[in-house]
Amino acid sequence: MPFHIDKFYWHNCISSRRTPQAAAVFFRCADLTRVGNLLYLSFYIAAYWMGTDRFPIDYLSSVFTPHNIMVWLVFNQPKWCIPLWYLHAILYVYLIYYGLLRLNEKSIKRFTLFAPLLLLPYICISLLFYTSNINPPEVWLICNAYFNGLPFFAIGCIIKMYLEPFKAFVGKMKSENFYLLLVILAAIQIFERFQHLTEVYISTILLTVLLFIFSAARKDSAGKTALSAMGKKHSGMIYLIHYLILEMTWQIPGYAQFSEMPVYKWSASFLILFASLIFSIVFSRVKGFFSKKS
């Protein structure tokens, strides 16, 4: 639930009404989104060209239809790369909150407290399709700024707004009770996974909120770690590049048979994460080298 984290740290821009800082965050995200769009479009155009030996006009005409453009502009879902929906959605959420900064702080707080209710359509739509014989919904119908971005973004802000009471709650909770709650939620998550109830499991939402509250409450005692510093520096590029690396692995001869091996099924996520991190580190150093030269 990366929306939680974005909103937790962006809350400082709202509570102190620092409009320039909020704009800077938006433009950094816009740069990352632009790079992602160009990167994936270039990759798929090249793949089409190499695979068909034809100019990719057919590919482009199938991607940029009026319907696909509407879905992209309204529901944040680019046809050329579905995982990029998050970056487009977070831009819309930033724009909405940037507009709210023009209002009084009470209006912002009221909107934030009610925004999590937007999860209800998200859950209801998912349950309707996943518990019936109807075909699953289009991803853009539930994975967008309105039913996914805003409610999770607001939850992150609420955690920040009421961090001190949450800290007191965590401080009073016995360790064994906390771990028992984690186990229960994890068990419910496994049940939801095998029942295919929704696109995002309700237990996952609760589990993520609980872990985030616990981490935020223990932040002062935990201090900064190499892992947190690495996440802060490379998380954006890791998200941007991980699906492209996955796409490339699918092109490897014999991948279909190899991917069925149990060892690969258990380790694939970690391998993709590691490869994405290595790419991000190399990219960062190359970028830094050329920046010094200029």
Q: Using CA atoms, how far apart are residues 265 and 74, in angstroms rounded to an integer?
A: 36
The residue among 242 and 24 whose pLDDT is bigger is: 242
Q: What is the pLDDT of residue 219?
A: 59
Residues contacting residue 240 through CB under 8 Å, at least 6 positions apart: 32, 35, 36, 39, 87
Which region holds residue 76: left if phi is over 0, alpha if psi is between -120 and 50, else beta? left
Is the pLDDT at 3 greater than 60, yes or no? Answer: no
Stretch 148-169: mean pLDDT: 84
Q: How confident is the model at residue 8 (pLDDT cuts 50, 70, 90)?
A: very low
Supply the pLDDT for residue 234: 82
pLDDT over 50 (residue 9): no
pLDDT confidence of residue 66: 92
Q: Give the pLDDT confidence score for residue 50 in this predicted structure.
A: 82
Angle between helices 105-114 and 85-100 (to 10 degrees): 140
Which of 28-32, 167-171, 215-219 comes out lowest in average pLDDT? 215-219
Neighbours of 154 (CB within 10 A): 25
- Please answer whether residues 57 and 118 qualify as being in contact, where contact means their C-beta atoms are separated by less than 8 angstroms: no
Q: Which amino acid makes up residue 134? A: I
pTM score of the predicted model: 0.78
pLDDT in tens, 109-144: 888 889 989 888 877 777 776 666 656 567 787 788
Mean per-residue pLDDT for 9-24? 60
- Quickly state the pLDDT bin for 57 (edges 50, 70, 90): confident
pLDDT value, residue 4: 46
Listed residue (226, 229, 230) closest to 278, CA to CA: 230
* Cα–chain center distance at 246: 17
Q: Would you say 154 and 6 are in contact if contact means Cβ atoms under 8 Å apart?
A: no
Q: Among 233, 208, 103, which Cα is nearest to 156's?
A: 208
Distance CA 201, CA 207 (A): 10
Confidence (pLDDT) at 19? 64
Averaged over 163-185, what is the pLDDT?
A: 80
Q: Average pLDDT of 279-288? A: 86
What pLDDT score does 278 carry? Answer: 92
pLDDT at 81 over 80: yes
Please state, in angstroms and rounded to a whole number, the distance separating the CA atoms of residues 251 and 182. 39
Summarised one tens digit per residue, pLDDT across range 189-236 is 777 767 665 666 777 788 888 887 777 766 554 456 666 677 778 888
